[in-house]
Amino acid sequence: MTPYKPTDQRSSGMKYIRLYETTDLAELEMIKSTLRREEIDYKVLFEHTLLAGSLAAMGNHGAIFEVRDVDQARALELLRSLDVIVDMSALEEPSDFVRWVDDTTKKIPGIAHLDSGLRLYFFLAFCLVLVFLLFLLSLV
């Protein structure tokens, strides 16, 4: 038996959809473990932000699980078996800005491998430096 390895959305062509959001680190690890054991491909957005304890950053409420659209029903059933209550109506898609930053920063060689939250921080830091440099140029 070969070890389970999640596929990369960019290479698989599969569409990932939002499944669940959590601010509980124990629940985060329990769900990750269950999805891995059942060999369901998933992504976790903003996991590092949650681990750092910065839930208020950029409107982030917690770590967001995404699964392939073909695995959604099976993944929901697994969450129910763990007594996790999933309110699908409460899940909103990330803003267009966050999606744009995510898609754009995936193309930057030095940071493409990082989590979405960290890439967002790099993007915001770049913008801040750019604004500062423009401010310095306006003084000259």
Q: Which whole number is the average pLDDT over 25-33?
A: 90
pLDDT given at position 60: 55
Query: Which of 118 and 61 is assigned the larger pLDDT?
Result: 118
The whole-model pTM stands at 0.54
Same domain flag for 66 and 44: yes
How far is CA 94 from each of CA 78, 100, 116, 131, rounded to the nearest angstrom? 24, 10, 12, 25
Structure-token pair, residue 7: 């596929």
46 and 73 Cβ atoms separated by less than 8 Å: no
Query: Which of 7 and 37 is assigned the larger pLDDT?
Result: 37
Same domain flag for 113 and 51: no
Q: Above pLDDT 90, what percent of the chain?
A: 25
pLDDT given at position 2: 41
Same domain flag for 31 and 54: yes
Same domain flag for 25 and 48: yes
Same domain flag for 103 and 86: no
Q: Which whole number is the average pLDDT over 117-123?
A: 83
Same domain flag for 16 and 43: yes
pLDDT grade for 39, boundaries at 50, 70 and 90:
very high
Range of 61's domain?
1-90
Same domain flag for 57 and 99: no
Measured from the Cβ of residue 29, the count of other Cβ atoms closer than 10 Å reads: 10
Rg of the chain over Cα atoms, rounded to whole angstroms, equals 17
* End position of a domain, from candidates 90, 106, 123: 90
Task: Give the integer Cα–Cα distance in Å for 123 and 95.
Answer: 16
Arithmetic mean of pLDDT over the chain:
79
- Best-predicted range by mean pLDDT among 28-32, 55-59, 82-86? 28-32
119 and 57 Cβ atoms separated by less than 8 Å: no
Total count of domains within the chain: 2
Same domain flag for 73 and 102: no
pLDDT given at position 89: 56
Same domain flag for 85 and 129: no
Q: Which whole number is the average pLDDT over 31-56?
A: 82
Same domain flag for 47 and 82: yes
Same domain flag for 6 and 52: yes
